[in-house]
Structure 1
Amino acid sequence: MRPPTATFVGLRARTLLAAAPLVFFVVWATTHLVSVTNAFSASTNQLAFAWLISFLLLWWVSLAWFERPFRATADQQHELDQLTVTVQIPVYNEDEAALRACLRSVLDQSRPVDRIRVVDDGSMDPATGRGQTYRRVRRSFLAEAAARGAEASWDRTENRGKRWAQMHVLAHDDADIFVTLDSDSVLDAHAVREGLKPFADPGVKSVAGLVAVLNTRANVLTRMICLLYLPFTRGLRSAQSVLRRVTINSGTLAFYRADVIRRHAGVYENETFRGRPMQMNDDSMLTMYALLEGDTVHQPSAIVFTLAPERLRHYIRQQMRWMRGTTVRHFWWLRYMPVMGVVFVTTVAEYLHIALSVLIPVALVVGAAREDRLGEVLLITLVIALVMHYLMALRLFTLRRSDDTWRFTVGLFVLSPLVAVWRVVVLRPMYLYALATCWRISSWGTRDSVEVRASGG
């Protein structure tokens, strides 16, 4: 399986794309403020006020366009080249072809890494009921790493969860930078080189990579997931990066100052919530450690491709795990982050947005029905909602991929409102359920056997 190549679009192209949402937001906010001031009816007041609040709570939609890839001067690049970089890859019931592609992509980096630490967290072969050894993959990987001068190790441990697999090697590794990489992900050839550049600033403690779906064309679900991931991977995270307050690095690809991680060895693996071991949402916990010590950013030119779920059951389990884990992390942010800081304020705003997403539609419908204007209000609300989702979907065009034609990308963009319906009908009720059941936490929580297989080898 050979990964595609990808490029984050240049400043001129991003400016052209950003012009539409920025102009829309200005015009939209102005006209609605005017309608509030010169209201003709109660329902008009309600509609204008509701969408004004929605605009403020979706602050990240416009701010994301101000993100720029971090660059390094010649002197800074020389210093970055001297850093010792360790890549850690936890493995659990992974498809062999996907794992082989992941390891190959690490070895093929334009900026070679110094160490690669693979830890198999007790994978099992469902066909035999015995341990999955990955013997051929392991042998060829270690031989290739030795041939390229990279220090490599492959350990197998008892099944204790992803965090234990990570810290099995990172707790004692003396590298300068740790890179966490999921075993079902494939790096762009320049991912490590680009991901290190933000560390030219001593204040930066962690860097998130840009996550793209590898198997986009597999079926309807993976196409939909490509759009469902978009608001976070190229929206909220990009906006947070402008403020240097990224809250969640995807475990798919993230970079950390190694001393930040080592200082929390022993604590990280033993996190509990309501007396139960907390193994999920490992990436947000590591990001939180970095947030407590400095800046956390996103590097859109450090690109990684990941296998998305191809079956609905797998996708639902993944989302429920993420939602519950993020809910737990919200408690930690509200407890440990500065009250007037970006993370605390935006977390409160998120819950306000959830509440308003339920209360506002009800208030609009009741008010419009009372004035016999229900059809008008629903139509205006639908139009604005569609425009908002198209504005978010514009972020599709910030990444040029070798495996995606212009026609395919435009097709995804056109269908984005259908994904919005999925969010409202399926994901929003799931999220509310996850809020109420966040204490139901598990270890890996995604697979007892291989869930997604890579094509080719």
Structure 2
Amino acid sequence: MTDPGVLAAHPTRSGLMLAGAITLMLAAAWSVQHAIHAAAYGDKNGGRLAAVWVVTFLLLLTQTVMYHCERPRRLTPRIKRQLDALHVAVLMPTFNEDEGYLRLGLESLLRQTRLPDSVHVVDDGSTSTEYDTVRTWWMDAARGAGITATWLRVPNGGKRHAQAHGVRQSPQADIYITVDSDSCLAPNAIDEVLIPFARPSVQSVAGMVLATNHRASLLGRITDLWFVTGQLVDRSALSAMGSVLVNSGALAAYRAAVIRDNLTSYLNEMFLGRRVMFSDDSMLTLYALLRGRTVQQSTAVVFTAIPEKAGHLLRMYLRWMRGSTIRSIWRVRYLPVTRWAYWAHLLRWFQLALGTSVVGWLLIVEPFFYGHVPPSSFAVVPFLIGWAQGLRYLAIARSDESFASRLYTWALMPLAVIWSWLVLRPVRWYGMVTCAKTGWGTRQNGAEVSLSVEPTRISASQIEEPTVTLVKLLDPLMDTNVETAYPAR
């Protein structure tokens, strides 16, 4: 039972079979409609377009099936006894974090149904504050809860080095849980994120990340809609194959050996002669992939602060795309070709290239070289598909938000489609070209998001069950790449 006033959320599975049927019908209708228009061109160009729609539909169908195969494990008495014997250490690096968000996250650790054995906060040389008040409160509170706690202030060396200090403080840990300094865990998050480790082959577990402050701005709602949908579909499909490519910095768990055995290379990653300061979560996930399965536990929920201003979001996204490019090179180099993760990674790039090429062909090549005007549905279908994709967003019930509010966010999907194509897609390509710039790029002058008002919260017992949940369609016209799903700000 969750105490009133505590942020909580959980995924729902009501109407899942109906949702799958509706999704497939929409996908089939969309594919057939495009194939008909492509065939109407009546020449080899039409044949090529028809082939593109067939390939797109097959990709869509494959991901839909894979998504339905994901089944988060449930906590049983036997599994609980097994996991309770593990020493769980939480690593929380912080740098110029807002004290309100930092305290909110630390409070959430005290409310866990399964308390961590140790928590290691490392202040990576913050320049805006020294957290004296929060530190004093936390050390006393952790001691009272029976949690071993350390709080170090070290010269600025980057997030990876801050995490390494925490690792060295907890050599006895069996599981490391990495969180951000603004991560507010749902009360059962640690219990849930540990469950998959009952299977020895599982090396890392990704949590489900929601935004704490998404209602602060229109941009916040669009960003939350985009990211949550990506986690529940793209990452869920990869999780079904034990091949999650990128965990979220807001909440992820690793077998201790994954981090300890790779600590030296983690701290000294180089690309084109430069030290890599970002893409830490994807690097840890790659280490885990090389040892076994990497999965998502969608019932392990965490809330995090997202950018409220476009400039902050774009700087963060640019960093992600630079890191994504570097990580792609390492996956090609190190992942065995016999692993699904290797081919899933290549498939992502194929989807990106296919989507961009199709739009360029229809808007530039066909009109100017062949005199063919794109069908009117070309301007309508992407938004309809986007709404179908975004319905998966409604599968998360939150204690701090009504279903009507979530429905309003879902209705904003057309804006998310436009934002993705006109702004984020160009930034993505620019990030690929400039991937050699390996600096962090955000929060250098203090916190960029502040908790000035206590989040609106209601009792978790009032969380309603949506009557229908839908899987997200795989559509190259919507760039929902889970590689951008909330790494550390």
Residue in 1 that maps onto 2:353: 355
C-alpha distance in 2 between matches for 1:105 and 1:77: 21
The residue correspondences of 1:19-418 to structure 2 (distance < 5 A) are 19-29=21-31, 40-42=42-44, 44-58=46-60, 59-60=62-63, 63-125=66-128, 132-171=129-168, 173-365=171-363, 366-367=365-366, 373-374=372-373, 377-418=374-415
C-alpha distance in 2 between matches for 1:342 and 1:112:
35
Other structure's SS at 1:116 match: strand
CA distance, structure 2, for counterparts of residue 36 and residue 359 of structure 1: 15
Give the CA deviation at 1:50.
2.5
- Structure 2: gaps of 5 or more residues: 455-489
How far off is 1:392 after superposition? 1.7
Mapped partners of 1:317, 1:35: distance in 2 = 39
- The 2-side partners of 1:179 and 1:34 are apart by 51
How does 1:412-451 map onto structure 2 within 5 Å?
A: 412-443=409-440, 445-451=442-448
Q: What is the alpha-carbon distance in structure 2 between the residues aligned to residue 133 and residue 232 of structure 1? A: 36
**Letter in structure 2 aligned against 1:60:** Q
Task: Tell me if the contact between 2:28 and 2:57 (Cα under 8 Å) persists in the aligned partners.
Answer: no
Q: 1:183 to 1:444 in 2, by over 3 A?
A: farther
Instruction: State the shift of 1:27 in Å.
Output: 4.6
Q: Distance in 2 between matches of 1:62 and 1:447?
A: 43
**What letter matches 1:380 in structure 2?**
S
Contact 1:57–1:349 (Cα < 8 Å) also in 2: no
- Once residues 223 and 358 of structure 2 are traced to their aligned partners in structure 1, the CA distance between those partners, rounded to angstroms, is 27
Shift of 1:214: 0.8
Does structure 1 residue 455 correspond to structure 2 residue 457? no
What is the identity percentage for the equivalent residue pairs of Structure 1 and Structure 2? 37
Compute the RMSD of aligned alpha carbons.
Answer: 2.3
- C-alpha deviation, 1:342, in angstroms: 2.0
* Residues 37 and 375 in structure 2, CA contact (< 8 A), matched pair in contact too: no
Using structure 2 for the length normalisation, give the TM-score.
0.86
Q: Give the distance between the partners of 1:202 and 1:340, measured in 2 at CA.
A: 20
How big is the shift at 1:70?
1.2
Specify which structure has the bigger relative contact order, considering alpha-carbon pairs within 8 angstroms and separated by 6 or more residues.
2
One-letter code aligned to 2:242: R
| d(CA) in 1 for partners of 2:180, 2:65 | 30
Q: Distance in 1 between matches of 2:369 and 2:283?
A: 48
**Which secondary structure state, in structure 2, belongs to the residue aligned with residue 267 of structure 1?**
helix
Q: Which amino acid aligns with 2:218?
A: V
**How far 1:29 sits from its partner (Å)?**
4.5
Per-residue CA distance 1:29-87 (angstroms, 9 max, x = gap):
46767888998555543442222233344553553344222124321221111111001
The 2-side partners of 1:446 and 1:52 are apart by 45
Q: Distance in 1 between matches of 2:369 and 2:268?
A: 55
Contact 2:397 2:403 in 1 (8 A): no
Structure 1 residue 235 displacement after superposition: 2.1
Distance in 1 between the 2:394 and 2:19 partners? 8
1:262-317 CA-to-partner distances (Å, cap 9, x unmatched) read 11122211111111111201000010010000000000000000000111111111
Is the Cα–Cα contact under 8 Å of residues 315 and 441 in structure 2 kept in the other structure? no
2:360 aligned counterpart, secondary structure: helix
- In 1, Cα distance between equivalents of 2:413 and 2:39: 33
